[in-house]
Amino acid sequence: MINLRDKGAEIWERQGRLGRVGIALGGLAIAAALPFMGGTILNTPIADYESVLVYPIAMYVLMAIGLNIVIGKSGLLDLGYVAFFAIGAYTMGLLGTKTDLNTWEILPIGIAMAMFSGIILGVPALKLRGDYLAIITLGFGEIVRIVALNLGALGRSEGIINIPTPPAIFGIEYRFDSHRIYYWTLLVLILFAIWMVRRLSVRRAGRAWESIRQDEDAAELLGVPTFKYKVWAFVLGASVGGAAGVFYASKTLFIAPDNFTLQISILILACVVFGGMGNIWGVILGAVILGYLPDRIRFISDARLLVFGLVLVIMMNLRPDGLLPRKKREKAIVKKDAL
């Protein structure tokens, strides 16, 4: 099979500074232009194309980037990622309907709430490893949903309605049916998340996570404060999930516990695994494909989970590292030496 990852990396490494800026801007322009492609082959026959761009696609991408910090970077299997999405969404729902705060003011609060719950869950759970961690996080995801289902203040199964849309910012109006505005805003959030992950990956934190993922005991014995960095991974992942949740609630105007089932955790996990754990571009590609296809092809939409399950099984057999696997290559300098 062709190695897309290495092809891409090769093209990237051959560019000078100008070429790289060009590629980045080009990619961004394409992403930003997607809402105008509704009339083309990209159109989704099942749902409104522009709203599909917002949810699931952009929302999945954002969450997949967040979950990738936890699973891909530090190798911690989190099966309850939806919890942070829910906490962000309910923070928006509650504060948006009960106070005068607007979406932009609630966004940092929602992120903080998600991060805080990341600590609450992470500190006890991250003492465990592997399967045990997976089970605890799975439970946490369900607990958050069940609390929302049973707490009167959160509207029980009715959820919260009439959540306000974001107020105009920089002269941009957010009408609930102007999907492309939401999409572009999400694009900004996604860019910010990419910036954060890339920035962290090349420095101390990235090395610490990488060493933990590969051999946690060796990491600890060579002076890496593994627990601290695992909690950080969890908390940063939670912050991205929380941001997604706030924005989701402010877009759909209505949230209920049914929006935050285990299924979401699994779908986002599928995006990460399908795209390529640990490689941010792979994860984005995975989320775009898995977010888009069900609304493009009716058959998949009807049997979404079945198809996703099949895709994962096939992928695990053919390409266990995902579409774009993490860095496996050595720098070009060494290649030259080898010739």
Footprint of other proteins (CB under 8 A): 196, 199-200, 203-205, 207-208, 210-211, 214-215, 217-226, 229, 232, 326-328, 330-331, 333-334
Q: How far is the CB of 332 from other proteins (least distance, A)?
A: 9
Nearer to other proteins, 2 or 222 (CB): 222
Q: How far is the CB of 133 from other proteins (least distance, A)?
A: 19
Please tell me the distance from the alpha carbon of residue 63 to that of residue 85, in angstroms, as a whole number: 8
Q: How far is the CB of 217 from other proteins (least distance, A)?
A: 8
**Residues across the chain:** 339
Q: Residue 297 is which amino acid?
A: I
Q: How far is the CB of 25 from other proteins (least distance, A)?
A: 21
Q: In which residue are the tokens 């050595």 written? A: 330
Q: How far is the CB of 229 from other proteins (least distance, A)?
A: 8
Nearer to other proteins, 92 or 273 (CB): 273
Q: How far is the CB of 282 from other proteins (least distance, A)?
A: 15
Please tell me the distance from the alpha carbon of residue 54 to that of residue 324, in angstroms, as a whole number: 23
Nearer to other proteins, 178 or 201 (CB): 201
Nearer to other proteins, 19 or 225 (CB): 225
Nearer to other proteins, 27 or 225 (CB): 225
Nearer to other proteins, 205 or 246 (CB): 205
Please tell me the distance from the alpha carbon of residue 51 to that of residue 258, in angstroms, as a whole number: 19
Note whether 9 and 329 are within 8 A (CB): yes
> What is the SS3 string spanning 255-296?
ECHHHHCHHHHHHHHHHHHHHCCCCHHHHHHHHHHHHHHHHH
Q: How far is the CB of 204 from other proteins (least distance, A)?
A: 5
Please tell me the distance from the alpha carbon of residue 236 to that of residue 230, in angstroms, as a whole number: 10
Angle at 329 between CA 326 and CA 332, to 5 degrees: 140
Nearer to other proteins, 225 or 309 (CB): 225
Q: In which residue are the tokens 């990491």 written? A: 219
Characterize 56-92 residue by residue with b for buried, 16 or more Cβ atoms within 10 angstroms of its Cβ, and e for exposed.
bbbbbbbbbbbbbbbbbbbbbbbbbbbbbbbbbbbbb
Please tell me the distance from the alpha carbon of residue 327 to that of residue 247, in angstroms, as a whole number: 32
